Amino acid sequence: MAFPVHRVLLLSSLLCFLPRHDAARVGSYVTVSTASFAASSSTICDDDPGRVIAQQQLQRGNGTSAVLRLTHRHGPCAGPSRSASAPSFAEVLRADERRAEYIQRRMSGAKGPGGLQQFTAASSSKSVTIPANIGHSIGTLQYVVTVSLGTPGVAQTVEVDTGSDVSWVQCAPCAAPACYAQKDQLFDPAKSSSYSAVPCAADACSELSTYGHGCAAGSQCGYVVSYGDGSNTTGVYGSDTLTLTDADAVTGFLFGCGHAQAGLFAGIDGLLALGRKGMSLTSQTSGAYGGGVFSYCLPPSPSSTGFLTLGGPSSASGFATTGLLTAWDVPTFYMVMLTGIGVGGQQLSGVPASAFAGGTVVDTGTVITRLPPTAYAALRAAFRAAMAPYGYPAAPATGILDTCYNFTDYGTVTLPTVSLTFSGGATLKLDAPGFLSSGCLAFATNSGDGDPAILGNVQQRSFAVRFDGSSVGFMPHSC
């Protein structure tokens, strides 16, 4: 279902920066500052006007119509209003386990006749870009954007999630504990001249399918969404004007008006769904912005920024692309086929193709990449062997991360390169922050060989990741 969208160029809002290279590459190893993959404690936002101008020119050349700023929720780029308390790394990993287990459960019954199937869709050239920020929500490390909802608009800081279909915000009236404390004021539908509740008899209500939750107040469509960590939201399904930037508004945007929430939402105002079903933001705006084409760049650190773009160039020129797959009966997730892993410039041996047969979910909501047990064991062994000659002291395991080092006494370290290769030859050559987190190898195992892997957000950071109806593309050093 397409909705009318007002488009005006707004490139001046872009704050995604070209990268700084603090690493010296020598063959299959890289020497980096330990600060590049340590937990960031910077209090200065990395706002380089020169890089802003360069990125604006790149986006203008590609036909992008609007750009929004994306920042780490707890970082200095979020400004004085950023969340005061961030979860510990251990807490993030515990919540990440629940997220990964949830995806595995949903995928466990997804194999049907023919298994994975190619997904295709049309594309066009219109686009809009909105900012995203990295934050801690739904119990794990997530990315957020600030948009506004209603007429007059009310600012809302919402998580962006490629693994969700229904967007929602908390709505007044709603008192604790039914609604939790959030960053911005509650959206009050009674104060918006453009809000309307979706009737139970409307097609939009029936399209909710498993997200439907009967009728509220006699004739209003109800919704309910439950997440992998046990969090949930319940309320009325409605429509209103969603303002992405000062000059880009989506009229008639369908979303959940939440009147009862529970779980680990950590102060966010709601969620912006980027999944593949018809009620997601990308699907609702596909007629206006690129036929469903969208891209994002997750910022590499809390002190830097990224972007989320609806639409964009119709061509994937400059991106390393791989085929977009869909699992039978689970259309929400964006899936690709991982085919190999490299360490120190050498492809891992002894990992059968069957280990990767379940495909790989590309997910912004999972932090740590999950690999089939055989593949992870080979990666871990190769990485440890490549690190051994340097004598870096081992550190205790941190939650699900079992290959950790103590770099306290080192200003720089030499590391083997790590790369991920997908069908068609698309290869992600990861920088150190893309395979190390808090001194640990940022990979873990999934439930079993042949089950779906998950490409987490640590490995995606600083890449522009582009989705269209038939492929997923990766471009390094994009923010």
Residues noted as catalytic: 161, 363
For every residue of 161-189, DSSP letters joined together read ETT----EEEBSS--TTTS---SSPPB-G
Strands of 412-416's sheet, edge to edge?
23-26, 29-33, 412-416
DSSP state of 81: T
Rounded to an integer, what distance in angstroms lies between the CA atom of residue 75 and that of residue 281? 26
Sign of CA dihedral 258, 264, 268, 270: negative
What letter represents residue 99's amino acid? R
What are 171's strand-pairing partners? 187
Q: What is the distance between the alpha carbons of residues 61 and 59, in angstroms, rounded to a whole number? A: 5
Cα 205 from Cα 222, distance rounded (Å): 8
Would you give the DSSP letter of residue 74?
A: T
CA distance 32 to 54: 25
Strands (E), 301-383: 305-311, 320-323, 325-327, 330-336, 338-343, 346-347, 360-362, 369-371
Q: What gap in Å lies between CA 14 and CA 127, rounded to an integer? A: 14
- What angle (nearest 5°) sits at the alpha carbon of residue 275, between those of residues 437 and 191? 105
For residue 23, the tally of other CB atoms under 10 A from its CB is 15
Residue with tokens 């995806």: 103
* Contact present, 273 and 242 (Cβ < 8 Å): no
Contact at 8 Å (CB) between 198 and 215?
no
How would you classify residue 199: left for phi > 0, otherwise alpha for psi between -120 and 50, otherwise beta?
Answer: beta
List all residues 6 or more positions away from 231 whose beta carbon is below 8 Å from its beta carbon.
138, 139, 261, 262, 263, 264, 265
Q: How many CB atoms lie within 10 A of CB 447?
A: 17
3 state DSSP class of 37: coil
